[in-house]
Chain A
Amino acid sequence: MNINTNLKAENTYDAIVVGSGISGGWAAKELTEKGMRVLMLERGMNIEHIKDYESAMKAPWEFERAGKLTQEQKRTHPVQTRDYPYNEATEKWWVNDLDCPYTEDKRFDWYRGFHMGGKSLMWGRQSYRFSDHNFEDNKKDGYGNDWPIRYKDLAKWYDYVEKFAGISGQAENWPLLPDGKFLPPMDLNCVEKSVKERLEKHYNNTRILTIGRTANLTVPHKGRGSCQYRNLCSRGCPFGAYFSTQSSTLPAATATKRLTVRPYSIVNHIIYDKDTKKAKGVMVIDAETNETMEFYAKIVFVNGSTLGSTFILLNSTSEAHPNGLGNSSGHLGHNLMDHHFRCGAEGTAEGFEDKYTYGRRANGIYIPRYQNYGSDKRDYLRGFGYQGGASRGSWHKEVAELAFGQNFKETMSLPADSWSMGLGGFGEMLPYYENRVYIDHTRKDKWGQPVLAIDCEHKENEAKMREDMMNDAAEMLEASGIKNVKTYDNDCYPGMAIHEMGTARMGNDPKESVLNKWNQMHEVSNVFVTDGSCMPSIACQNPSLTFMALTARACDYAVKELKKGNI
């Protein structure tokens, strides 16, 4: 490709941010606010806040198929249809799997959204800090490498991102789940309050139940509206009431007038300069025209989602980096993890027939990890937390099988007689070197790029933990007065939690890690990776808040180092 000098100048920025999701949006905000001219590259379409949330205000009857997917949608989205998030109301957020296939050496459900804002628009919004127990577990039990940081390194950055993003929650002083800078918590409902009281008493406060800590605003915050309790977050919020790139970081970055956003820009690889031993910029494929072009910058932040980022790094080969950029450790692509879930217990709560809910709370309860802590010892490593909640739904168990007619209609138009309460475990998966991704050169995507192959599975530690995830839930529900308690395990494959992490881990030792403690590549000092790929372990908490904190911290470091002339 010919690049004349003017074009090169035009295509040169202080920093390039690859990806516009949760961590990319944060990188763009932090870097622009620190005076950098930033180019943020997004591989998918642009999504304008509010205006492009077409389904957000639709009533149920304004959808053509009552939420159902067509056969054609199932044909073009064979992976996205494996679980619930892809439906008629949210279909624009999820990728056409035929355009961007991947190879499953073992089943791995890879849920992706290619658009401005990435998964920040569809995320579950649960926001929890990691504790020192999480940062120390790898070192203690020997799985994975030691985290190069501890809680004290990240605490002030958690404060910083929480205050900006707006996280509602209740402080609990629980050692395994540090408190944050919270907006007022959402309310527990009457059944959850009853369960909380009985459960904490039964376990003598060695287990606690709290309201979910969520990036939904309970009060107006930084010009954004508060939650209206519609429970339609997954369509995009017209009130800006949950944290997304569009509602939060993008407006801040845009306000600096130093941000350039380029949608439909697939970063194919990072261009390495063997003379400076740094990244020179990125090579981009225009997703609409297939035209290729280059952009240049002093620093590159890679925030393309865990596997998206790792694909780019693996695909950035050169004489100096034959196995992928910054991969002399051989760990790039390895140690892939995801939370395992879809098991727990549920039952019915009696005695609340005179109570109902008003409003729809897009949040549930949380029981933080208590296993393998203090005197609680298990026959597996690490642990799990629970998410769940109580509701008075409209399941009518009392209706005769396959009933119809007037009585049936009248019953179906009323709420269920009783409330139900469920607890679903979210378990930590250990880092295993052999759980990995690599590039499969035998297949190509729509843009002619090779595809990612994924070879990942849960193992014995996860299987053992699942037993407890069911049994502990049942025991706690029964201790709390819940009736008809039943356990379930709906089976779980990696990827399902959409919390995929690892594959470009941080560490102190360049021989066993890809990034240093500042999320900076050991071998290429001007490349930073601050999405889920950087994680040496995943704890059992929902991870996005940690990506935000790591990103803000890395941006601060990067700009300081740049100013010192060290990058």
Chain B
Amino acid sequence: MNRREALKSVAFLMGSAISATTMGVLFESFSSPIDENKKLSFTATDEAILAEFAEIIIPTTASSPGAKAAGLGTFIPMIIKDCYSVEMQEVFATGLKAMQYKCVKDFNKEFLATSPAERQKLMEDLREEAIATNRVPSFFLLARDLTILGYYSSEIGCTQAREYLPVPGRYDGNADYKPGQKAWATN
């Protein structure tokens, strides 16, 4: 197998598939390790906020449940704590707080109390900011990437949003593609 393909598929290992923008942030977590004495802790409210955040990225649709049902509210903080450097953890935690502060400032309410329209507006602002800063690692980028990674490697993502085929038993490199046919969950 072409090793470059294999390198790319690190992120896909678990069947996730991610837009090209993702790779930078994912690989950041491969940066030099630091002795982790202090780890962030996340409250139940943080997890609830992250679940709702992830649900905006990947919502429940007619075809399949979304990121919240797939458990992203606990997945994201777990990965942040276990797999990222202290600096990146701080970027994440600071950004999470800043997002909550922005809700109060913009809408005069807590994040969890915002309406779908307000959440949409909030996310668009965060997205624009990320693009404007040329994707400097931020809460939005980290949380979005981890949402996509976590969702498309979750059971819901693999078996409902996509199609999971654990043991194909054969290879057909010239199979017909039917319009609308879901992507395979793993490569």
Contact = CB atoms under 8 A, between A and B. Distances in A.
B168 A359 contact: yes
Q: What are the 8 A-B residue pairs with the smallest beta carbon separation, nearest first?
A: A189-B173, A394-B17, A359-B168, A74-B33, A359-B171, A356-B177, A60-B14, A67-B13
A424 B166 contact: no
A211 to B, nearest CB: 10
9 contacts: A61-B154, A64-B78, A68-B82, A231-B187, A358-B171, A364-B2, A410-B61, A413-B161, A490-B4
A65 B79 contact: yes
Nearest to B127: A402
A405 B20 CA distance: 17
A87 interface: yes
Given A67-B14, A71-B84, A84-B9, 18 more contacts: A60-B164, A65-B82, A67-B11, A71-B33, A84-B10, A87-B10, A193-B174, A355-B174, A359-B169, A393-B12, A394-B183, A395-B17, A402-B131, A402-B140, A405-B59, A409-B58, A412-B152, A412-B161
Contact of A405 (B13, B21, B56): B56
Contacts of B11: 67
Q: How large is the interface on A (under 10, 10 to 19, 20 to 34, 35 or more residues)?
A: 35 or more
A463 interface: no
B59 A409 contact: yes
- The prevalent SS among residues of B at the interface is loop
Output the residue of B4, B16, B20, B173 with the most chain A CB within 10 A. B173
Interface in B1-46: 1-7, 9-17, 19-21, 29-30, 32-36
Contacts of A87: 10, 13
A429 to B, nearest CB: 16
Contacts of A60: 14-16, 153-154, 158, 164, 185-186
A61 B75 CA distance: 11
Given A83-B7, A190-B173, A75 B33 contact: yes
Contacts of A148: none
A354 B153 contact: no
B7 A391 contact: no
Given A87-B10, A394-B183, A359 B1 contact: no
Nearest to B168: A359
Contacts of A186: 171
Interface in B76-108: 78-79, 82-85
Contacts of A353: 177
A471 B12 CA distance: 28
Output the residue of A88, A360, A414 with the most chain B CB within 10 A. A414
